[in-house]
């Protein structure tokens, strides 16, 4: 079996497991990406995300993560939903966090694919990753041709949009490598114009992570600065603005992953309900959810910040 046949079979199995995009790139040192990452870190755009500066060598060289690695298989798993919170004035949650924690759901499918690869092609070595290790997933996805990195710094696919999780298998198996695709952002600046905190560079393609609403509501452990009082767009966890305004997301279609479906109680929570959120209610609403990452105290901090901001003159 040649590399093209192997690759085709892997993509076919990935689709069977629910991944709607799959591309493959050569496992090698990422020279350009290393320079970009170093520049971003030197400007302190990672804020309190100190882990972004850790394991720099591993982030830019997959052969350190998996000795002898030859291929990086990049995959995308849809999470787009048309479900909406019923109270338009209620603090908002990014739709990726509506259901159960994607790390566990996607990793389970990723492991199934990896086990199938080993059973089909013999004794191969590799590791799977779902946003949980020093891997530049968007850059690998770009190299694999499943999308381009847009002006909002998210991976965009011309037929699927950008509402998807990324995952990788780094493996010591020779495969056929896909070519990157064209950047179709063109002259569009909708994401830049719409970002309330001006986290996206005026020219795009560069994100000041320390200003991003997702960072402020999830990663930031200190108090949220008052400079953002009227710029949070009523988000208490995550943010979808730069995706909502992206023209390519007109091609997004609802996922069919039962684990990602939001609880009815979550969607029906009113603004008053959120303002009065208790620990038991938090635990019930977000059992096995990615929102658990910010903990009750973190989410409560965000809600209180929104509440105070709404009262500001």
Residues noted as catalytic: 131
Diameter of the chain measured on Cα atoms: 69
Q: Are 48 and 41 in contact (CB under 8 A)?
A: no
Nearest to 215 by CA among 48, 66, 34: 48
**Using N-to-C axis directions, what is the helix angle for 3-16 and 102-121, rounded to 10°?**
140
3 state SS of 289: coil
CB atoms within 10 A of CB 221: 10
d(CA 142, CA 226): 36
Can you give the length of the chain in residues?
313
- For residue 77, what are the β-bridge partners? 165
d(CA 286, CA 281): 8
**Which ranges of 122-231 would DSSP assign to H, the alpha helix?**
137-143, 190-194, 213-214
Which DSSP string corresponds to 17-42? TT-SEEEEEE----HHHHHHHHHHHH
d(CA 163, CA 21): 12
d(CA 130, CA 112): 13
């Amino acid at each position: 079996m040649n590399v093209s046949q192997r690759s085709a079979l892997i993509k076919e199995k990935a689709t069977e497991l629910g991944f709607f995009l799959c591309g493959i790139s050569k496992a090698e040192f990422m020279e350009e990406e290393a320079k970009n990452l170093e520049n971003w870190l030197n400007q302190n755009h990672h804020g309190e995300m100190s882990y972004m500066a850790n394991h720099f060598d591993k982030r830019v060289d997959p052969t350190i993560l998996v000795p002898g690695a030859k291929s990086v298989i990049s995959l995308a798993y849809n999470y787009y939903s048309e479900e909406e919170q019923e109270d338009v004035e209620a603090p908002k949650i990014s739709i990726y966090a509506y259901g159960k924690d994607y790390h566990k759901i996607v990793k389970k499918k990723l492991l199934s694919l990896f086990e199938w690869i080993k059973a089909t092609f013999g004794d191969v070595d590799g590791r799977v990753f779902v946003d949980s290790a020093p891997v530049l997933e968007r850059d690998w996805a770009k190299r694999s041709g499943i999308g381009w990195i847009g002006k909002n710094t998210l991976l965009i696919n011309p037929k699927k949009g950008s509402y998807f999780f990324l995952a990788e298998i780094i493996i010591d198996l020779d495969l056929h490598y896909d070519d990157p695709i064209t950047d179709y952002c063109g002259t569009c600046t909708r994401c830049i114009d719409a970002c309330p905190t001006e986290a996206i560079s005026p020219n795009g393609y560069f994100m000041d992570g320390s200003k991003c609403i997702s960072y402020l509501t999830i990663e930031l452990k200190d108090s949220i600065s008052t400079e953002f009082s009227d710029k949070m767009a009523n988000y208490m966890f995550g943010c979808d603005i730069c995706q909502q305004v992206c023209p390519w997301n007109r091609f997004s279609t609802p996922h069919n992953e039962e684990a990602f479906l939001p609880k009815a109680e979550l969607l029906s929570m009113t603004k008053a309900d959120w303002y009065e959120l208790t620990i038991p209610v938090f635990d019930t609403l977000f059992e096995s959810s990615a929102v658990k990452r910010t903990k009750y105290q973190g989410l409560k901090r965000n809600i209180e910040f929104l509440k105070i901001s709404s009262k500001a003159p």
